[in-house]
Amino acid sequence: MSSDETNLQKITYREAVREGIREALQKDERVFLMGEDVGRYGGCFAVTKGLLEAFGPERIRDTPLSESGFVGAGIGAALGGMRPIVEIMTVNFSLLAADQIINNAAVYLYMSGGQFNVPIVIRMATGGGRQLAAQHSRSLEGWYAHIPGIKVISPATIEDARGMLWTALQDPDPVLIFENSSLYNMEGTLAADAGPVDIDKARVRRPGKDITLITYSASLHKSLAAAEILAKQGVEAEVIDLRSLRPLDEKTFLDSVVKTHRAIIVDEGWRSGGISAEISARIMEGVFYDLDAPVERLCSVESPVPYARHLEEAMLPQVDQIVNLIQKMVGAHG
Amino acid sequence: MNTQDAVNLNGATVDRDHALHLLRSMIRIRRLEEKCAELYSATKIRGFLHLYDGEEAVAVGILEALTRDDAVVATYREHGHALIRGVSAGAILAEMYGKQEGCSRGRGGSMHLFDNKTRFYGGNAIVGGGLPIAVGLALADKMQHKQRVTCCFFGEGAVAEGEFHESLNLAALWQLPVLFVCENNLYAMGTALKFEQAVQDITRKAASYDVSSAAVDGMDVLAVETAAKKAAQTVRTQGKPFFLECRTYRFRAHSMYDPELYRPKSEVEEWKKSCPIATFARKMKTEGCIGNVDIETIERDVAREINEAVAFAEACTWEPIEDMTRFVHSERRTP
Ligand SMILES: Cc1ncc(C[n+]2csc(CCOP(=O)(O)OP(=O)(O)O)c2C)c(N)n1
């Protein structure tokens, strides 16, 4: 972030994503955006509002309801020399395009022995918390992170929402960007001249010495809130924002665990076979003897996402649960 | 027997050199495939192996209509397409052996032949999976104002997939230069067309998306070539898709694992009478365009080509196991 405080502007996560897209369209002729309702409607989350007027229907391309068709067309366009940004309304609907993402985008370079790159960026909204029930609330980014050949990133901050896209577009390989829909209204400040950020490295969002919280996306903010509460009780939690789920920057979280000797993973995804299981395993493999307590995980309850507010809240990891779990861990093994 | 330089067939003039070229191309595919079957039995080639015998006129006739700049997207039954597009028999066989000099560095095998020099985009084993990609390649051409055609091969089985319908709709909606080529060999593995399509006239489906279409006898190389040239011309000059159904038949089983329980032997024998290679050679001989000597020369040359390809594949080397994860991602960040 710029040190020049006067340069800071108030901006929402939604606007930051939009500015990232706008800048990419301005900088590179080959970049275009396509997806359902990205143009005339303005984007189902209003992310792409105004872009059609600025760039025209060739580059802000409304598609029919054909997830597999237009994601595949994005792959073909990338093979043909363009730099498509493909928007899928939400990860739930990406399942109709999973074939193109997993069976084509992720393997084209490999199957062709290094001959054909697929420089596509696929953006999609993810996450629950808005009472949309089971078919509109999935967090499947960890599930995509299982697949070699694609990169999976998830911006949690305004700066990342603005800056990750350009870096992803510079990548010769397919990159999936997951934007948690509960973050779109989040406000923050950002330098007017904020530019691209790296997409490879995790970040320590809050330093601490007593326990490591490993998280990403919307759960980052819950974890930071929990860390604030704990700080008042004398427990200093270090909070790590993974940013990238594939590849995982394990050095950053392993170094932290070596320092704090305790780790908890907070993830809106499910526990069984989820990314939290992977992170936990890597801690065991990498720094087991540095641990003072078993690694703990706070994930979503293993049910489809319910509609009723109280059920949904109980289903997703919440701040007080994080606080309670950490108190238990620190207390029991102090 | 004296041969003549050109003959008139169904109103079209075919010159001798071209006739020999078409015949040679079809024979190259057939002999390569026979060698593949042999090498498969000898366990030199593993995995799934889908052969193309009977359908040679389609690949040969269609690819005659493309230029070097055009793109080709194919399926898992693509040895013939790759060969005629210009991938060497040696690189194809080396790929099936799993050698690093193979056209996909031994990472693809029979179903995933790729070649960037000839814009050959595979080699896709997901039925219907290549159709949206062809649409995207054509979209890229249109957006970059390149007057190129993307040719997409697929079987009639793919017509039942959602991606077929999504792709035709997109190509028509956005007016994209895609030549859709349906190789209708009447069977999707063991399921006959009549058991999988409520409407069996496939061109009607294309028409329902407002895509111009034609059907052609896929056992007749000249008919395919003529139809393909017309279709490609439409795509190139009008910048919009065209759908060409080639009615053909495969003489062999779906793959080397297939016991072929779903169709009578007599049906296969009946179709073999219209073998695209035999019928074309016979016609050309009857017209006095080519003689027995020509065929013997072609067979001798092709046999040499295939033998050399086998020798090449045998001599090729294995990729070091340490390089297994090469090309999961690109080696350099900037594309
Ligand atoms: C999406 C998908 N479903 C099933 C299969 C298994 N499968 C391989 S080939 C095939 C039949 C395809 O028939 P068709 O498209 O007519 O092509 P042909 O083999 O006749 O050339 C099937 C069902 C597959 N590869 N992909």
Side-chain half-sphere exposure of B243, counting CA atoms within 13 A: 28
Alpha carbon distance, N-terminus to C-terminus of chain B = 59
Taking contacts as CB-CB distances below 8 angstroms, the residues of chain B near A73 are 132-133, 135-136, 139, 167, 170
Q: Kindly state if the Cβ of B72 falls inside 6 Å of ligand 1.
A: no
Give yes or no: A67 in active site. yes
Question: Does A188 contact chain B (CB < 8 Å)?
Answer: no
Cβ atoms of B183 and B154 within 8 Å: the answer is yes
Q: How far is CA A152 from the centre of its chain?
A: 7
Tokens of B126: 């997901």
Cβ atoms of A60 and A22 within 8 Å: the answer is no
For B3-15, how does the pLDDT look when each residue is reduced to its tens digit (9 = 90+)? 888 888 877 789 9
Q: What is the mean pLDDT of chain A?
A: 96
Q: Residue A6: is it exposed, middle or buried by C-beta count within 10 angstroms (0-12/13-18/19+)? A: exposed
State which ligand 1 atom lies nearest to the alpha carbon of B156: 16
* Angle formed by the axes of helices B292-315 and B16-41, nearest 10°: 40
For B44-90, how does the pLDDT look when each residue is reduced to its tens digit (9 = 90+)? 999 999 999 999 999 999 999 999 999 999 999 999 999 999 999 99
Question: Does B121 contact chain A (CB < 8 Å)?
Answer: yes
Judge whether residue B188 has pLDDT over 60.
yes
User: From CA A74, how far away is CA A176, in angstroms rounded?
Assistant: 13
Q: What is the pLDDT of residue B12?
A: 77
User: From CA B150, how far away is CA B164, in angstroms rounded?
Assistant: 15
For A258-317, how does the pLDDT look when each residue is reduced to its tens digit (9 = 90+)? 999 999 999 999 999 999 999 999 999 999 999 999 999 999 999 999 998 999 999 999
Least confident of A2-6, A240-244, B26-30, B83-87: A2-6
Tokens of B264: 């009578």
State in Å: Cα B34 to ligand 1 middle.
Answer: 22
Judge whether residue A3 has pLDDT over 80.
no
User: pLDDT-based confidence at B1, cuts 50/70/90?
Assistant: low
Give yes or no: A296 in active site. no
Within 31-90 of A, beta carbons closer than 8 Å to B belong to 32, 58, 63-64, 66, 68-82, 84
Query: Which DSSP letter does residue A99 get?
Result: I
Q: Under DSSP, is residue B102 helix (H, G, I), strand (E, B) or coil?
A: coil
Strands lying side by side in the sheet with A296-300: A203-206, A237-241, A211-215, A263-270, A296-300
Q: What is the pLDDT of residue A230?
A: 97
Cβ atoms of B81 and B60 within 8 Å: the answer is no
Q: What is the pLDDT of residue B11?
A: 74
User: From CA A125, how far away is CA A92, in angstroms rounded?
Assistant: 9
Q: What is the pLDDT of residue A211?
A: 98
Q: Under DSSP, is residue A213 helix (H, G, I), strand (E, B) or coil?
A: strand
For B192-246, how does the pLDDT look when each residue is reduced to its tens digit (9 = 90+)? 999 999 999 999 999 999 999 999 999 999 999 999 999 999 999 999 999 999 9
The residues that bridge with A265 in the sheet, in sequence order, are A214, A297
The residues that bridge with A238 in the sheet, in sequence order, are A212
Phi-psi region of B189 (alpha: psi -120 to 50; beta: other; left: phi over 0): left
| Mean pLDDT value across residues B172-201 | 96
Q: What is the pLDDT of residue B9?
A: 80
| Mean pLDDT value across residues A92-107 | 98
Kindly name the residue from A136, A179, A278, A312 that is annotated as catalytic.
A136
Tell me if B329 and A173 make a contact (CB, 8 A cut-off).
Answer: yes
Tokens of B257: 């694992």
Q: What is the pLDDT of residue A332?
A: 62
Tokens of B299: 């067979």
Give the residue among A295, A269, A266 at the shortest CA–CA distance from A282: A295
Strands B6-9, A263-270: parallel, antiparallel or unpaired by DSSP? Answer: unpaired
Q: Kindly state if the Cβ of B125 falls inside 6 Å of ligand 1.
A: yes
Kindly name the residue from A67, A87, A159, A278 that is annotated as catalytic.
A67
- Closest in A69, A78, A171 to B167, CB measured: A69
For A182-224, how does the pLDDT look when each residue is reduced to its tens digit (9 = 90+)? 999 999 999 988 999 999 999 999 999 999 999 999 999 999 9
